[in-house]
């Protein structure tokens, strides 16, 4: 029963994170930097702190009992992870939900496992688990290449029709001028880098062990104790995102777009923030029900669900509308290879746990 509950939470978590950027396409009165400033404040400060204070007893006492370095460590890891979160937002803006999600999540799934293998368990590289990781990495590289190539073909086809690929003119936060091949390749590189750095959020949780113990000491449930770490880690992550958003607001002189702010335009980034934070919270809780499966099949299920739900969001919002079958086949093959890569990595972690 615990495994069933854990898998259910994991699937819901992956779907929630995968579609969390969908509301970005509903924005009608804000530019990207306006949206991202609001989204960063909601997702990295307001919602994590609100959730933690709502479900954890005596949270003020938990934080008050900690030494400075016990708070600083997850904060600094979160600070580094914030660069990846910012990169994710920029990539969704330029590549769309489908391509950005596939490349970033596929990269995160592979590199989040292969880096510890090489740095900490090099002797296991030729063992069954190590070979599964190497196979998964190869599949990831192939899948990412197909997704990236199909996204470029989509851009070329869209320019031939004199329109933005997948983004309607009414989608003010997504609308942008067409950009050259070199800029597209640079953005793909940013997506890969963001995927690699995205694993730092798990490391921030690992550095929050003292916070977990303090929360449990104050009566928090084991499955909810990670909620005490997220406010600290995500507060660090907010720095890069808020600073860059303010920089763009100054550079592009788009502070004035906030004059058009309505209740609907505030609700959209808040909804996106709730979807994202709900996914992170549910996954951190789901792993506590899965035991050894939490680092193996559970992790693979989470990543696969994120990839598939992201593609569903991209498809439903018209990112591949009117594209040629060749372009879409290439992308479908890339997604299939990424799913296979995550499965291979999940299998490796399962074999390692035996």
Q: Give 101-134 pLDDT, tens digit per residue.
A: 777 877 776 665 566 556 555 666 667 767 777 7
Please state the pTM of the whole predicted model. 0.81
CA geometry: angle at 81 spanning 266 and 24, to 5°? 25
Name which of 22-26, 85-89, 107-111, 160-164 the model is least confident about.
Answer: 160-164
Q: Is residue 65's pLDDT more than 80?
A: yes
208 Cβ neighbours under 8 A, 6+ residues apart: 73, 74, 226, 228, 229, 232, 233
Q: How far is CA 344 from the centre of its chain?
A: 20
Distance (Å, whole) CA 79 – CA 81: 5
Q: How many domains does the chain have?
A: 1
Whose tokens are 């004199």? That residue is 162
Name which of 152-161, 174-183, 281-290, 323-332 the model is least confident about.
Answer: 174-183
CA geometry: angle at 98 spanning 327 and 166, to 5°? 70
Q: How confident is the model at residue 335 (pLDDT cuts 50, 70, 90)?
A: confident
325 Cβ neighbours under 8 A, 6+ residues apart: none
- Domain hosting 346: range is 2-353
309 in helix, strand or coil?
helix
Q: How confident is the model at residue 173 (pLDDT cuts 50, 70, 90)?
A: low
Q: How confident is the model at residue 7 (pLDDT cuts 50, 70, 90)?
A: confident
What is the structure's pLDDT at 188? 78
Judged on CB neighbours under 10 Å (0-12, 13-18, 19+), 127 is: middle
Name which of 21-30, 154-163, 311-320 the model is least confident about.
Answer: 154-163
Do residues 106 and 335 touch, judged by C-beta distance below 8 A? Answer: no
CA separation (Å) from 138 to 114, 145, 335, 345? 11, 11, 14, 11
Distance (Å, whole) CA 163 – CA 143: 27
Q: Is residue 260's pLDDT more than 70?
A: yes
Q: Is residue 312's pLDDT more than 90?
A: no
Q: How confident is the model at residue 91 (pLDDT cuts 50, 70, 90)?
A: confident
What is the structure's pLDDT at 22? 87
Do residues 147 and 235 touch, judged by C-beta distance below 8 A? Answer: no
Give the single-character DSSP code of 156.
H
Do residues 327 and 157 touch, judged by C-beta distance below 8 A? Answer: yes
Q: Tokens standing for 72?
A: 């600083």
Mean pLDDT of the chain: 81
Whose tokens are 């808040």? That residue is 270
Q: How far is CA 259 from the centre of its chain?
A: 30
Judged on CB neighbours under 10 Å (0-12, 13-18, 19+), 253 is: exposed
Do residues 194 and 84 touch, judged by C-beta distance below 8 A? Answer: yes
Largest CA distance in the chain: 62
Whose tokens are 């299998």? That residue is 347
What is the structure's pLDDT at 322? 67
- 27-31, 77-81, 92-96, 173-177 — most confident range: 77-81
What is the structure's pLDDT at 10? 84
What is the structure's pLDDT at 122? 63
Distance (Å, whole) CA 272 – CA 47: 11
């Amino acid at each position: 029963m615990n495994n069933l509950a854990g898998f259910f939470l994991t699937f819901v978590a992956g779907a929630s994170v995968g579609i969390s950027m969908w509301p970005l396409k509903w924005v009608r009165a804000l530019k990207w930097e306006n949206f991202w400033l609001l989204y960063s404040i909601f997702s990295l400060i307001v919602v994590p702190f609100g959730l933690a204070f709502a479900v954890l007893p005596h949270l003020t006492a938990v934080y008050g009992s900690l030494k400075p370095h016990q708070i600083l460590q997850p904060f600094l890891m979160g600070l580094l992870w914030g660069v990846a979160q910012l990169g994710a937002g920029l990539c969704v803006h330029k590549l769309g939900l489908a391509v950005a999600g596939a490349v970033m999540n596929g990269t995160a799934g592979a590199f989040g496992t292969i880096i510890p293998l090489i740095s900490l368990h090099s002797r296991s590289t030729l063992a069954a688990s190590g070979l599964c990781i190497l196979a998964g990495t190869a599949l990831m590289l192939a899948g990412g290449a197909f997704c990236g190539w199909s996204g470029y073909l989509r851009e070329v086809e869209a320019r031939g029709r004199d329109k933005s690929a997948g983004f309607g003119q009414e989608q003010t936060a997504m609308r942008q001028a067409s950009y050259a091949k070199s800029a597209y390749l640079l953005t793909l590189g940013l997506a890969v880098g963001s995927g690699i750095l995205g694993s730092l959020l798990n490391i921030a949780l690992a550095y929050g062990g003292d916070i977990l113990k303090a929360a449990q000491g104050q009566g928090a449930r084991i499955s909810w104790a990670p909620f005490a770490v997220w406010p600290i880690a995500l507060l660090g992550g907010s720095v890069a995102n808020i600073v860059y958003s303010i920089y763009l607001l100054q550079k592009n002189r788009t502070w004035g777009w906030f004059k058009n702010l309505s209740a609907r335009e505030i609700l959209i980034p808040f909804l996106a923030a709730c979807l994202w934070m709900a996914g992170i919270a549910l996954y951190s809780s789901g792993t506590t029900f899965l035991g050894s499966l939490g680092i193996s099949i559970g992790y693979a299920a989470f990543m696969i669900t994120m990839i598939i739900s992201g593609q569903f969001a991209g498809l439903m919002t018209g990112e591949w509308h009117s594209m040629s079958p060749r372009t879409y086949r290439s992308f479908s093959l890339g997604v299939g290879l990424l799913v296979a890569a995550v499965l291979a990595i999940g299998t490796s972690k399962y074999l390692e746990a035996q």
